[in-house]
């Protein structure tokens, strides 16, 4: 699994619920984040480097947990990889399309993800209209640990009021198009209109990976949120910045101990 930082650990947590018996390798490019302000060419270059490294470590399936990387560089990543690659955009879009009755959906994400219109294109293929809203303050607030802070709630009220304005009032699904956002899902549930369902692209991606690997989702239903690894399963982490910092923040995002972290220096 690849992410620009620690946000993708929400995807990893969902995957552990669905497939507890797998061995997981997680690469967080923490030295070069944020990806949201970088060009598509730069993002593709960074991710391809990391993907090749993960393949050298024995990766047999690659999950691009970063919405920005998926939105900006998925074709380039797939071309460079020797194994199957799954991004987070299409599973999230498919889940949103299945959930909406009005065929109108609001997508919130980083500036780069929204500017790419990746969700808009993916939802359009399902016959759904997407209204996109960039919410750049959410990531730093989540990383600060302010998941239930009054400031975060006020920011969310402003963002969602703008997101569901005008023609978007008819939207009945909110897509969390950033892997940081599941950590503030309870807060977003309180702030979003009552009739709106929330679709988490992290959970949708885990469900799709489980389906591809022939894993039963019924077992995951009973384990949801437990985050227990199966016997013999392993978690190994790679970070391009401080391994100690990754351990501390990663444990909060994953909800499991983040212990086996190796610092990796990818040369430019």
pLDDT tens digits, 49-64: 999 999 999 999 999 9
135 as an active site residue: the answer is: no
pLDDT tens digits, 98-114: 999 999 999 999 998 99
What does pTM read for this prediction?
0.91
pLDDT tens digits, 144-170: 999 999 999 999 999 999 999 999 999
66 as an active site residue: the answer is: yes
Task: With H, G, I as helix, E, B as strand and everything else as coil, classify residue 157.
Answer: helix
pLDDT score of 268: 56
E strand intervals along the chain: 2-3, 24-28, 61-64, 84-87, 104-109, 129-134, 173-176, 197-200, 235-239, 261-263
Mean pLDDT of the chain: 93
Looking at 12, 15, 63, 66, which residue is catalytic? 66
Looking at 12, 178, 184, 196, which residue is catalytic? 178
Question: Tokens 């982490």 appear where?
Answer: 237
Q: How is domain 90-201 classified at the CATH fold level?
A: Rossmann fold (3.40.50)
Equal CATH topology for 2-87+204-263 and 90-201: yes
CATH assignment, 2-87+204-263: 3.40.50.1860
In the chain, what are the domain boundaries?
Answer: 2-87+204-263, 90-201
């Amino acid at each position: 699994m690849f992410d620009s930082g620690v946000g993708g650990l929400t995807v990893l947590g969902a995957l552990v619920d669905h497939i507890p018996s797998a061995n997981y390798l997680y690469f967080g490019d923490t030295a070069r984040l944020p990806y949201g302000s970088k060009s598509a060419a730069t993002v593709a270059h960074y991710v391809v480097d990391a993907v090749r490294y993960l393949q050298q470590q024995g990766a047999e399936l690659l999950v691009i947990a970063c919405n920005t990387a998926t939105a900006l560089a998925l074709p380039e990543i797939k071309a460079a990889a020797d194994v199957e690659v799954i991004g987070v955009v299409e599973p999230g879009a498919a889940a949103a399309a299945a959930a909406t009755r009005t065929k109108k959906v609001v997508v919130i994400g980083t500036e780069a993800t929204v500017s790419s219109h990746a969700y808009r294109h993916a939802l359009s293929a399902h016959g759904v209209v997407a209204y996109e809203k960039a919410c750049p303050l959410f990531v730093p607030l989540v990383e600060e640990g302010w998941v239930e802070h009054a400031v975060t709630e006020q920011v969310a009220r402003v963002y969602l009021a703008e997101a569901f304005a005008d023609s978007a009032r008819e939207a009945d699904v909110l897509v969390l198009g950033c892997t940081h956002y599941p950590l503030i899902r309870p807060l977003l549930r309180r702030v979003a209109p009552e009739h709106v369902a929330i679709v988490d692209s992290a959970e949708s991606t885990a469900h799709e990976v489980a389906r591809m690997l022939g894993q039963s989702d019924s077992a995951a239903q009973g384990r949801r949120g437990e985050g227990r690894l199966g016997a013999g399963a392993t978690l190994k982490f790679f970070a391009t910045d401080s391994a100690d910092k990754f351990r501390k923040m990663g444990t909060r995002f994953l909800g499991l101990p983040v212990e086996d972290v190796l610092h990796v220096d990818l040369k430019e």
